[in-house]
Amino acid sequence: MAGQRTRLDRFISARLTINRRDVKLMLAQNRIRVDGELATSVQQAIDAFSLVQVDGQVLQDNQPRYLMLHKPIGVVSATKDDQHRTILDLLPEDQRIGLHMVGRLDRYTSGLILLTNDGRWSRYLTAPESKVSKTYHVTLQNPLNKDYISAFQQGMHFAYEDIITRPAQLQILSEFEALVTLQEGKYHQIKRMFGRFRNPVVKLHRQSIGNLILDPALAPGESRALSQQELKHINIAHPL
């Protein structure tokens, strides 16, 4: 997967089907370049996005890709499903290669999904220690009150996993609508938290990850590449 590193000689040996001793000789003859520079050691670490050339022949020239997608209700967060459309099914076939999802949304939740071929980036965004927040717009069946705010902020005990959720921020927008911001994603977490109040979630929509807001110009099912400015700021978590 993208993000994993390997030794230069191991990569070239496998790609050209030659002995590693031959790679060492190529190195001594200044025949190998990595990212445009002459390689200096067979032990040099490369990753999926390193440009590797031997005798001018390009062995690898992958480019990192980062996309936002507006997930519609009814589409599953999976690469393959025999019964339902998947996130990848929404992309043109030639654009799906190598992509994976950064986190998931359940079938009945809409909103922002990120896709990439960069494993390091996705692991960073989903790691608990990174504290990257996600904000959801929630529509509820029953009226809200201020008791919800303190309960979400204090965290809730989930007996099945025997955990206490991290503090979450709840902002009441109207009698039946709220914004919920959290830094984790336990199984059906938001629905289970409102379930403590016996208040069913009618609609759930993820509108942001970190400081990245779903582009309002994207209709459900549409996607686009992230800009450099968006990539620069997405890693900054919302304060709770």
d(CA 216, CA 109): 17
Give catalytic status of residue 106 as yes or no: yes
Q: Which long-range contacts (CB under 8 A, 24 or more apart) does 97-105 make?
A: 98/2, 98/62, 98/65, 99/65, 99/67, 100/1, 101/77, 102/126, 102/209, 103/134, 103/185, 103/209, 104/77, 104/185, 105/71, 105/77, 105/206
The SS3 of residue 170 is: strand
Among the listed residues 22, 35, 106, 162, the single catalytic one is 106
Q: Sheet harboring 57-60: ordered strands across?
A: 37-38, 32-34, 52-54, 57-60
Nearest-CA neighbor of 133 among 206, 215, 195, 223?
A: 206
Catalytic site residues? 106
